[in-house]
Every structure is written in C-alpha cells, then in structure tokens.
Structure 1
Amino acid sequence: MFLSRYLVPVTSAPIEDGGLLVREGRMVGVGRRKELTAAFSGAAVVDFGDAILLPPLVNAHTHLELTHFPNWARRSGQGESPASFVDWILHVIRVKRGVDVELYRPSLAAGIAAALASGTGAIGDVLSYFPARQAYVNTPLRGHLYLEILGREPAMGRKALARIGELLDEKRAGQLKLGIAPHAPYSVSEEYLEHIYDFARRRQVPTSLHLAESREETSFVRDSSGPMKEQLYPFVGWQGLVPPPARRSPVAFVEACGGLASSGLLVHGVQVDAADAQRMAKAGSTLVCCPRSNARLGVGKAPVELYRQVGVPLALGTDSLASCDSLSVWDEMAFAHRWFEGRLTPSELLAMATINGARALGVAAEQGELKAGLGCNFQVLKPAALPEFNNLETFLCSPGRSAEVSALFLDAWDVLQKN
C-alpha cells in the first residue's frame, strides 16, 4: 500500500490523505488512507508523507535523438535564434549535416534518462537514425517509436519504405510499439504520403505527422509558394520537385492522402480553421500540442477552444531540444497554462499530459490514470511546501514541479531509486 498526503487520479477527483493498494504489480484499490488501511490492515505500507502521488506523464511527441542538439549547434558555430520557421529548418539541417550519426545513440540515451527523471512514463518518439532504436530495449518507457520518413523522389521513397517494412517486423523496441512518421506535407510528396498511409493501414501500425505547424507550410501546400519553395527546396536540392498547388489546406491535403485516422497522431495543428478541425474530429485523430516549440518558432497558438468544441482529443508533447529548453512535460504544462491564458483549465492540462496521451499511444490499459485494474505506474512529487488542497491542480500546472519528482514507479519498480 502506497500512501501520500494528496493523490491525483486524474479521471476522478483528487483525494486528500489517499493511497493505492497494489497486488502482484497491479493497482487493486484507490481511495482514502483511512478506508484502505482499515480494509487491508495486513498490507505492507509505504508512506510518502507530505507528497503528491499521481500518474506518470506522457510525452506524446518528441525527438529524443536530438537531445544533444544544443551542444551540436554551439560546436558548429550556427546561430541559435532563427528569424523564421524556414530559417529554423535550415538551421537544423546545417547542424545535423555536421554530426556523425553514431552520436545519435548517446543523444537518445540522454533523452530517455531526462524523460524518466522528469516523471515521464510513456512517450511518442520520432526517430530518423533507425539503428539507435536499440537504446529503448532495456528501458521501462512505454508508447510508440515512430520511424521517420521523408522525401519526394519515388524511387528513393520505395526503397525507404521497404526498409521500414523490414524493421516493422520487429514489432517493438523495448516496450514501445513501432510506427511510421511521415515528416510533414511539405517534405513528403502526395504520392509518397498515399503509399505510406496505405502501408500503415495494411500493417496496422500507428503514424505521427507534423501538420499545419506554420503559415509557410500552408502557403507551400496550398499555392506552392513562399519561403519553402524559395529557400528550403533549393537548399536540399529539390528545385525540380516543387509540387503543383494543392489548392487546399494542409489538413485537407493529408485527409485526401488517407492520413487522418484514429491511429494517427497529428502534431502542432496551429494553422487550422473550423473545417480542418471538423475533419480531424470526424477521423478521431488526436492533436498533440507543443506550445513551447510553437512559441520559440513564432508560428502561433493552436486553437484549443476550437478543438475542444468539435471534439478533437488533445495531448501534450515537448518536441525536441532543437526548439524547446527541456524534455519535461511538467515544464510544458506550466508554459501551456500561461500561454493559453485560461483557455485550458489545470484539469484539462493534466488530462492532456496523462490519460489523453496514454490513450493516443495505446497504453491506457497500463497508465495514464490511477484506477484499479491498471499497472502499478505512478510518480511522487515532494514539494518543499504543499499547496492548499483546493489549489492542488493549479499548483501542478505551475513552474518548478519537474525538480520535485522524487520517485517514478513503472511496473511496480521505482526507476529513479531516489529513496
């Protein structure tokens, strides 16, 4: 039995003086301390005292292989404050061109460690250097590992998809299910996107896609114009591969390619209108918000009220250290609480960072909430001073929580072993 001053199940009301009863690695009881100890007086007790017990967080979108990106950028001499979204893309490409791909392995390992240290128990990670997937083999993280794919040349695309098909036969990397991540509508051709999504359906694998992130993306997809045509395509040698205007929004374009589905994550979703949101809701797609990245790159704010009105499930992601300052979902929540200026309540943000992400990544049978029947997965916060009980959820969406993670139990084992 695990006890604490406060317990936050997420899908039900917080509990003062609460506890979890665990048997054979699964939660069998969640409730008040007095009731649990009376009903199960013979159970061994671990009392965390003045602490907050709640589910592990879920980082629904990140690129952990880029954890060392800030160091790579400094060593390369590249500037760290791009003037526009396309300028940032060029910056990332320049830095990555100077990095030995074998350095992605320790970078990914560092990202896994940082995620765990900040209370993350499940992840939607995008990987471009596929051999680095072995870093996940001995980790307790659950979720999806999306193998990234991009390109506009059909022959190269067929070869890359065949390679991914071979890797998907492995099914998993550690406890993460393998999936596919077509990069974005501006970096994958229409024909290629159609093949990728058809392939994903046939293989029954999840997908993740950067979508409607910037105005530059919208201009390029709709009109084949703007900085992506003028700067990005020449920079990567795609001058002769500029597509004809799609005359539709990025969301409508991806829908036509078969890319809207309940098994697919859509990431960012900043530049959308009501019709786009309705398309996403109808398909059952989850939208992953990455507000710190959006703020850093100056692309705008996701219309979270619109998504809520039409019923698009929302999750939370940090994106990579190429566009934010930490891999902590706690930090992402705190920023989102300020950034959206009351458009998302603390309880909604907690759901985005836990149960919504867990559902989107197919791990809700194990984690995402504190409820009888789920695995023994929870984290413990030990603040210097506890908040008043009626201010608990607001406190959890305030800065500083990441440093207060004292324990992270995954599969009934404290993977941080701080106590």
Structure 2
Amino acid sequence: MGNNGSSQKAGSETREPGAGNASTGDAIDLLITNCVILPVPGTAQLISHGYVAIAGSRIVGVGPMAQCPQGGIRTVVDGQGQLAMPGLVNGHCHAPMTLFRGLADDLDLVTWLHQHIFPAESALVSPEMVYWCSRLAVAEMLLSGTTTVADGYFFEEEVARACVEVGLRCVAGQAVIDFPAPGAPDPTRNIEVAEAFIERWLDRDPLVTPAVFAHAPYTCANTTLQRAKALASRYRVPLFIHAAETRSEQTLIAEPRGRTPIAHLDALGILDRDTVCVHCVWADVQDLELLRISGSAVISCPQSNAKLASGRAPLPLMRDHGIRVGLGTDGAASNNSLDLFREMGFAARLHKVNPGRPAELPAPAVLAMATHQGAEALGLPAETGRLVAGAPADLILVSLQQPHLQPMHGANLLVYSGSGADVRTVIINGRMVVEDRALLTMDLAETCARVRRLARSTVSLANPG
C-alpha cells in the first residue's frame, strides 16, 4: 500500500460479533487501518498503529490493529503513513467573503469595514455571489481539514445550501443588522428574515444547524439584540455576535454610554449558554466573570485580530475562568486564509510573546480548542471532535510523510509544523468528501471560474477614482 493511503472494497462476509472495539452488531461501512491515531486532541494519547471503524454517520470503534474488526466491511482505507484525528472546527467564518480576499488589506477594522467592506457588500452581495463564493470557501476549508464551520452572513440559506451540497457540517447564522442589508433591505424586517431562515433549515438536514448572527452591539439597537436573542431562544438555536473586538467599540454603542460591550450584552439579557461571543479581544476581568457566570462561549480569531491591529484576546485567562473557547478564521477578507492549521500555529505562538512565557497557551490546549472544545463552544452534540465510539464520523487523515512532520515525537508537531496542505482525506458524517487531496463532491475548477467572473466587479471598488 502507498504512503498516501488507498481504498478498496472488502469482502461481504459477515463480521464476527464484538470483533475489535466496534460495537456488537454494527455493520462497518468504512474501516481505516494501519494509521497513527490521535483520538482526543489535547491529550498525550496516541495509538501508534490502529484502526477507525465507521458505520453510517457514526464512529463505532477505535483501537490498535491487534483488535481490528474482520469481515463484513464494505470499504477499507489503508492509512499507512498517515495520522487520523478529528476534523477541525472553524468557530467563526463569513464564507461568502472569499470574494473580497485581498480587496482591502493593511487597514484598521473601522476603516476596513465602513469604507471598503460595507460598500462592497452593498454593491455586490446577491444570492448567486453568496452561493458560489461559499462553495469556494467550503473547498478551501475541506482541503485544509475543517469538517465543521460556524458561519454568519446575508442570504445564509445559500451558504447552507453550498455546505450541504459539498458535504461540510455547518452552524449557519442568518445576519441581523440595523441598516438596509442584502436580503433584508427593510431593516425593520431583519428578525422576520432570520426566523424564515431558521424555519427553513431547522431539522432539515443533519449537516446544518440554523442560528442567528446579530452583527454587533454597535450595529444593532438594544431592542434588535433582545428580539434576536428571543428568536434564538424560542427555536433553541445559537446566537452569535461580534463583541469587544476593538478598543474603541465601547464608544460606538449608542445607549447607554459607559458599559463595556460584554457588560452591555449582559445587561440586555443576551448572555447565556446558547450565546457565542466572537473576538472578545478587549474583554477585561469583569467581562470574563460575566461570561463565566452566564455560560456564554467565546470564539477567538487571532490572525484576523492581528491583521486588523485590533489586538489579542486573553485566551489563557478565558480558559482559566472555565469559559468555553474555540478558534475561528473569520472571513477570508480579513485573515486572509481559512486554514485552521495556520490559525492554530499563530495562536500558540502569539500568546507566548507577551508576557514572555513559552508555556502560555501550549499546543495541546490549541489542538483541543480547534476540535472538541470548539465543538462544545458551538453547542454541538457531545463527543463531536473526538474519535471515540458513538461520535459523529467527522475525521481527517494527515500525511506524516512530509519533511516538516518528521520525526514526529508527538501531536504538538501538528500545531507548530502542520499545514492544511498535509491533509489527504476528509470524512464528514461518515461520507468521504476528500480522497488523496481530490474533492469528490464538487467541481472546483467550475467554482473558481465562477468566483473569478464575480470578482471582476470588485476592481472599481478596490481602485476607486
């Protein structure tokens, strides 16, 4: 078998009951053999020569090859020379913004947003743009090992459609904002648009969890924030909101003055276990205590925050407070990559620089944030982000044959040396969507061509006058 792995149809004989670690009676649809396994990122446990068994959409067994099931297996994938691990969880993204990648670089958030991104969105965002640019984002994420994304944008039904068609798991949030926006030209109907989206996708597809994305406390009035939260609570779906992203954000909140963004959200009754606050760069100790008491989660986007010079979130302190924390890339317009391996490496290094402690935010903690802890922050079912029996079959195979991944003394190497380009195979919900770095569920060339055609309209926006 080659080092990049190969798949083959196995015989149809009946498997012996209880073989290996697989649950008794499970017919195995896909068996990955001969691989190194990282079952729970963030722990030291590695299985040096093992198997992963999948039945339907679930993992039914993980263990050493000595316990590998025999017989009754539909497809076998030889994982020789590869590492099997849970797929990565991108906790915050604006998938359609691939169209604006490189449009407005080297700017602060306020200038970037108000002078470039908002005008570009007003001129260019349409259902067609959202669909095709989301497909491009999905391709980029799949090829770099992401199996779940939390997304928030306008025309979010097109993002959800792209994810389902290509096979990426998503928590999809319809954007709510208090000015005329794509898909909601009348801002007084923004909650109505969000509710229609939730009703359309609630329990419709196992890959999609609908959500509400209230843009920010400075772009949504107090009543809008409360109505958005009430909507999310009524349908029992997550509420996402940008919060405490910049030093100046407190001065942008219209009423009342003087509260921090986190304290503002708490006073309005927005914070609870189903609320996910994105960024929280300028959250102080009192803010962290409010997040802890409420049970709210945080998604940090360190590369986007650094590129926009917004600052660095206090991730170690958040973790010390027991706050659920995950990692996100943000959109391709402000990162400009959707590769979570890059995000992990940057996060781990950034938090060591100041206060100058090399053990600050260690690699195991970052691996956990990018997998099962990120899934927990999004409110996904228990065991998501782990390779254990009963967990969703969302996993990736990473080639260990790359020079930069040898010798492999442990999983920390994935954070400090790994790259999305090392991912060879991606399986989501038990379905193989990438095999030997080939996308099996979409025509990537067609998608790239469509996005390039759409991008011609951005030239005048990038070069005004």
TM-score (norm 2): 0.78
Residue identity opposite 1:373 in structure 2: G
**Paired residue for 2:121?**
96
Give the alignment of 1:370-389 within 5 angstroms. 370-383=387-400, 384-385=402-403, 386-389=405-408
- How far 1:365 moved relative to its partner? 4.3
**Paired residue for 1:239?**
none
- How far 1:195 moved relative to its partner? 1.7
**Paired residue for 1:232?**
none
Structure 2 distance, partners of 1:9, 1:220, is 44
Q: Deviations over 1:154-205 (max 9, x none)?
A: x954422122222221134742111111100111111221222122212222
- How far 1:43 moved relative to its partner? 6.3
Give the alignment of 1:296-375 within 5 angstroms. 296-341=307-352, 342-365=359-382, 367-375=384-392
Residue identity opposite 1:273 in structure 2: D
Structure 2 distance, partners of 1:27, 1:132, is 30
**Paired residue for 1:56?**
87
Q: Tell me if 1:416 matches 2:440.
A: no
Out of 153, 158, 165, which is 1:138 matched to? 165
Give the alignment of 1:128-277 within 5 angstroms. 128-133=154-159, 134-151=161-178, 156-172=186-202, 174=205, 175-221=207-253, 243-277=254-288
- Give yes or no for contact 1:143–1:363 (8 Å, CA) kept in 2: no
Unaligned runs of 5+ in 1: 74-78, 222-242
- How far 1:362 moved relative to its partner? 3.6
Structure 1 distance, partners of 2:322, 2:125, is 43
Structure 2 distance, partners of 1:4, 1:343, is 34
- How far 1:100 moved relative to its partner? 4.9
Unaligned runs of 5+ in 2: 1-30, 353-358, 438-465
Structure 2 distance, partners of 1:198, 1:97, is 28
Structure 1 distance, partners of 2:176, 2:57, is 38
SS in 1 for 2:337: coil
Residue identity opposite 1:270 in structure 2: V
**Paired residue for 1:106?**
132
Moved more, 333-342 or 260-269: 333-342
SS in 1 for 2:410: helix
- How far 1:22 moved relative to its partner? 2.9
Q: Tell me if 1:121 matches 2:132.
A: no
- Give yes or no for contact 2:298–2:377 (8 Å, CA) kept in 1: no
Identity percentage of aligned residues: 29
Structure 1 distance, partners of 2:372, 2:134, is 25
Residue identity opposite 2:101 in structure 1: P
Q: Tell me if 1:81 matches 2:106.
A: yes
SS in 1 for 2:166: coil
Structure 1 distance, partners of 2:70, 2:156, is 50
- How far 1:325 moved relative to its partner? 2.0
- How far 1:17 moved relative to its partner? 1.5
Structure 1 residues 131 and 55, CA, compared in 2 at 3 Å: closer, same or farther? closer
- How far 1:294 moved relative to its partner? 0.6
- Give yes or no for contact 1:366–1:377 (8 Å, CA) kept in 2: no
Structure 2 distance, partners of 1:180, 1:410, is 24
- Give yes or no for contact 1:56–1:378 (8 Å, CA) kept in 2: yes
Structure 2 distance, partners of 1:305, 1:376, is 30
Q: Deviations over 1:79-136 (max 9, x none)?
A: 5221x22111122123323325232221111111111111111110112124524323
SS in 2 for 1:186: coil
Structure 2 distance, partners of 1:195, 1:157, is 13
Structure 2 distance, partners of 1:307, 1:100, is 35
SS in 2 for 1:67: helix
- How far 1:250 moved relative to its partner? 0.5
- How far 1:319 moved relative to its partner? 0.1
Residue identity opposite 1:349 in structure 2: V
- Give yes or no for contact 2:341–2:415 (8 Å, CA) kept in 1: yes
- How far 1:400 moved relative to its partner? 4.3
SS in 1 for 2:426: strand
SS in 1 for 2:435: coil
RMSD across aligned positions (CA): 2.2
**Paired residue for 2:5?**
none
Q: Tell me if 1:394 matches 2:419.
A: no
Out of 41, 64, 69, which is 2:100 matched to? 69
- Give yes or no for contact 1:152–1:189 (8 Å, CA) kept in 2: no
- Give yes or no for contact 1:10–1:347 (8 Å, CA) kept in 2: no
- How far 1:60 moved relative to its partner? 0.8
**Paired residue for 2:441?**
none
Q: Deviations over 1:219-271 (max 9, x none)?
A: 323xxxxxxxxxxxxxxxxxxxxx34432110000111121111111100110
TM-score (norm 1): 0.86
Structure 2 distance, partners of 1:43, 1:15, is 24
Structure 1 distance, partners of 2:150, 2:268, is 22
Structure 2 distance, partners of 1:377, 1:8, is 13
SS in 1 for 2:51: strand
- Give yes or no for contact 1:4–1:53 (8 Å, CA) kept in 2: no
